[in-house]
């Protein structure tokens, strides 16, 4: 018997444990993964957090307010005003993230890269009005390690027990209240049961289960693509969603997901269909399976991630190519996550500055030499041959590619005053912000001999996060279909759609995933600890 069982050892679960210990409760954490992976998917993440009114913003001359952030959030997510709890959580997050996420992290030794990034600016729908994406100095790994250290050094550490390799499969109830959990050892297959006064579900979403991803595929994306890569946690399988449903908890908005259009196969996969999410270069040309430019409006990253997925899924074969050269790749190519950002992860200032100023040669070499979805060619003919060889057909037509590339380069030759291409106009726009100017080429021609060789990247949809999930109120209490709390049951993080069962709506203003885990985890621990 313990006071609180927390299911999941990610950031939401860790934050919940910290708050529950602060309240003097006995806490048992059950994590399905091995101890070496304590910290969950956040430990592997890039570590960007959506924050409002920060010192970093003020130093950069950015005026931001919770009111502006909430307006952006509601517009971009297309939140239904009648959808009570997602709206309540959106308001809570935008108004509380400065103190209860950002400042709380700073007080625990977490620092941020000086310049906030400007992501999800909006395309057809308004997005971030100002830069709000704050990158943890040290990536998500540093964030996880700092909070784990706080947990291990907590004054009430003796009231905390952590058991790894424990797969919770069922919630135990008595007289309508949740009173514990049952499960099986992930490594030894031994059954276990724990009795508790309260249970917090912080076990992630279901986007690591590609069968469920296909089952809940949103109607806006037509049918699921033949190939979907897995960029989520290998244990994010929705098992706990089923357990919550079985005891009367409500699941909402399961068709809302945060997937990415630029996924490639991991060079060193650690799970089936292991995918990496690229940060697609803005100066690369985004082509369909045959080498034609996807459009009519060309695809450019940084404005509406969901629209990129929608447009790629609308093409005949539902995958895409990005075509660039070495110069563009060096300056603009990035891969999301701690693993492929070692200068930030390891807090090496000189290496970070070098990569910004001179290009990330390590990443270019790593991906072109070791990722099967990258091909390199001396000229367009050789590049197209290698694109077709990779795909195993002759779908990419040299005439299509040549026409697109030569037309684009001709626009650049005319000079900025005469650019009549939406991609070039957006490049000019994003370069006005200092954070983007450092990482965006200035109208780089594709066929510039000095920028050779040419590079093409085959890109698939990569599954990442669940935006829907277990519905909760602002105390993280799990609600039933009638809107009443299920006694003894709480949910936090991605399992709860990061709060309320879908606080983002259709789209997320990036960085609100980690931030949502921290805020909802803290609130769940506080509520269960009272």
- 37: domain range? 2-203+238-256+467-529
Whether residues 270 and 407 fall in one domain: yes
Mean pLDDT for 433-451 is 95
Whether residues 80 and 99 fall in one domain: yes
Q: Is residue 210 part of a domain?
A: no
Whether residues 120 and 44 fall in one domain: yes
Whether residues 123 and 248 fall in one domain: yes
Angstrom distance (rounded) from CA 370 to CA 19: 43
**Residue 278: predicted pLDDT:** 97
Whether residues 166 and 272 fall in one domain: no
| Beta carbons within 8 Å of 407's beta carbon, 6+ residues apart | none
pLDDT at 166 over 90: yes
For residues 145 and 358, the model is more confident at: 145
Place of tokens 């960007």: 48
DSSP 18-79: HHHHHTT--EEEE-SS-GGGTTGGGGGS--EEE-SS-HHHHHTT----HHHHHHHHHHHHT-
Q: Is residue 222 part of a domain?
A: no
**Residue 356: predicted pLDDT:** 87
Q: Is residue 225 part of a domain?
A: no
Whether residues 46 and 168 fall in one domain: yes
Q: Is residue 216 part of a domain?
A: no
Mean pLDDT for 7-23 is 98
Confidence of residue 91 (pLDDT cuts 50, 70, 90): very high
pTM exceeds cut of 0.85? yes
Of 462, 489, 506, which residue constitutes the final position of a domain?
Answer: 462
Nearest to 460 by CA among 280, 243, 209: 280
Look up residue 401 and give its two tokens.
């590619």
Whether residues 122 and 151 fall in one domain: yes
Whether residues 54 and 153 fall in one domain: yes
What count of other Cβ atoms lies within 10 Å of the Cβ of residue 484?
Answer: 12
Strand pairing class (477-479; 485-491): antiparallel
Domain count for the chain: 2
Q: Give the tens place of pLDDT for each residue, 306-365.
A: 999 999 999 999 999 999 999 999 999 999 999 999 999 999 999 999 998 889 999 999
CB neighbour burial string for 79-104, b if at least 16 within 10 angstroms, e if fewer: beeebebbbbbbbbbbbbbbebbbeb
Nearest to 118 by CA among 302, 335, 301, 277: 302
CB 525 within 8 A of CB 15: yes
Share of the chain above pLDDT 70, in %: 100
Cα–Cα separations (whole angstroms), residue 50 to 133, 137, 190, 439, 525: 5, 14, 41, 20, 22
**Residue 75: predicted pLDDT:** 97
Q: Is residue 148 part of a domain?
A: yes
Q: DSSP 3-state assignment of 464?
A: strand
Whether residues 310 and 328 fall in one domain: yes
Whether residues 364 and 506 fall in one domain: no
Confidence of residue 125 (pLDDT cuts 50, 70, 90): confident
Whether residues 401 and 427 fall in one domain: yes
Whether residues 154 and 271 fall in one domain: no
Q: Is residue 213 part of a domain?
A: no
CB 271 within 8 A of CB 265: no
Confidence of residue 184 (pLDDT cuts 50, 70, 90): very high
Angstrom distance (rounded) from CA 455 to CA 324: 5
Angstrom distance (rounded) from CA 426 to CA 134: 22
CB 281 within 8 A of CB 250: no
**Residue 60: predicted pLDDT:** 96
Q: Give the tens place of pLDDT for each residue, 479-494.
A: 999 999 999 999 999 9
CATH number at residue 491: 3.50.50.60
């Amino acid at each position: 018997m313990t006071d609180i069982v927390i299911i999941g050892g990610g950031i939401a679960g860790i934050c919940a444990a910290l708050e529950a210990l602060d309240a003097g409760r006995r806490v048992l954490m059950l994590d399905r993964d091995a101890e070496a992976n304590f910290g969950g998917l956040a430990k592997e993440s890039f570590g960007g957090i959506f924050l409002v009114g920060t010192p970093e913003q003020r130093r950069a001359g950015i005026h931001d307010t919770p009111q502006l952030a909430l307006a952006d959030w509601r517009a971009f997510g297309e939140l239904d005003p009648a959808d009570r709890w997602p709206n309540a959580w959106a308001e809570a997050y935008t108004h509380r993230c400065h103190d209860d996420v950002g400042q709380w992290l700073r007080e625990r030794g977490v620092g941020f890269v000086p310049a906030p990034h400007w992501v999800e600016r909006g395309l057809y729908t308004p997005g971030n009005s100002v830069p709000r994406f704050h990158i943890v100095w040290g990536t998500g790994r540093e964030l996880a390690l700092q909070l784990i250290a706080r947990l291990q050094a907590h004054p009430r550490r003796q009231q905390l027990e952590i058991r790894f390799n424990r797969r919770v499969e069922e919630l135990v109830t008595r007289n309508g209240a949740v009173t514990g959990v049952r499960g099986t050892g992930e490594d030894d297959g031994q059954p276990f049961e724990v009795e508790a006064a309260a249970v917090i579900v912080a076990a992630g979403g279901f986007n690591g289960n590609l069968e469920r991803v296909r089952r809940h595929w949103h109607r806006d994306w037509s049918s699921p693509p033949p190939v979907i890569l897995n960029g989520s946690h290998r244990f994010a399988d929705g098992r706990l969603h089923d357990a919550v449903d079985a005891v009367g908890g409500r699941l909402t908005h399961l068709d809302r997901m945060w997937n990415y259009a630029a996924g490639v196969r991991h060079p060193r996969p650690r799970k089936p269909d292991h995918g990496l999410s690229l940060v697609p270069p803005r100066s690369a040309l985004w082509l369909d399976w045959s080498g034609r430019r996807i459009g009519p409006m060309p695809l450019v990253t940084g404005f509406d991630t969901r629209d990129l997925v929608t447009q790629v899924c609308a093409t005949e074969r539902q995958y895409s190519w990005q075509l660039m050269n070495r110069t563009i790749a060096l300056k603009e190519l990035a891969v999301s996550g701690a693993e492929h950002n070692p200068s930030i992860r390891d807090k090496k200032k000189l290496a970070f500055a070098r990569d910004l100023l001179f290009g990330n040669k390590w990443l270019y070499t790593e991906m072109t030499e070791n990722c099967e979805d990258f091909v390199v060619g001396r000229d367009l003919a050789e590049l197209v041959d290698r694109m077709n060889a990779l795909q195993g057909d002759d779908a990419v037509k040299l005439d299509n590619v040549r026409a697109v590339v030569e037309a684009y380069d001709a626009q650049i030759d005319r000079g900025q005053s005469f650019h009549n291409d939406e991609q070039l106009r957006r490049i000019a726009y994003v370069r006005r912000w200092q954070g983007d100017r450092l990482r965006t080429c200035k109208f780089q021609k594709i066929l510039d001999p000095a920028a050779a060789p040419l590079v093409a990247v085959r890109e698939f949809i990569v599954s990442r996060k669940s935006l829907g999930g277990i519905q909760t109120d602002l105390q993280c209490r799990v609600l039933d279909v009638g809107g009443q709390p299920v006694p003894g049951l709480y949910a936090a993080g991605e399992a709860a759609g990061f709060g309320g069962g879908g606080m983002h709506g259709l789209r997320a203003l990036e960085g609100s995933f980690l931030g949502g885990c921290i805020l909802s985890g803290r609130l769940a621990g506080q509520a269960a600890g009272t």
